[in-house]
Structure 1
Amino acid sequence: MANFTKSRAEKQGHVVVVDGSAWNSSGGPIAARTVLDDVRDALAK
């Protein structure tokens, strides 16, 4: 994580590390699937 004061969400464990390249690009259906997989995995925790 970045070196700054933690947000309330991070302090409460509501932050998930993901692959930024998929989340910050218009990578088409494969990137979209990666984003959906990240969301699914985060919600399953």
Structure 2
Amino acid sequence: MKIAFSKLAVTLLKGLLIVVLSLFGLICIFAVMMSLSLWYMEVGHR
């Protein structure tokens, strides 16, 4: 019983880690795109 529970816990933790990492990656990509577009707008206006 304990072994199955620990396996389930490890699986849940791995899933949570993957979700957190993908969210972090999406936020990073969004931030980079925002800064690039702002920089492009600043350069384009000059």
Q: Which has the larger radius of gyration?
A: 2
Asked whether the two chains share a fold, i.e. TM above 0.5, the reply is no
TM-score calculated relative to the size of structure 1: 0.40
Higher helix share: 2
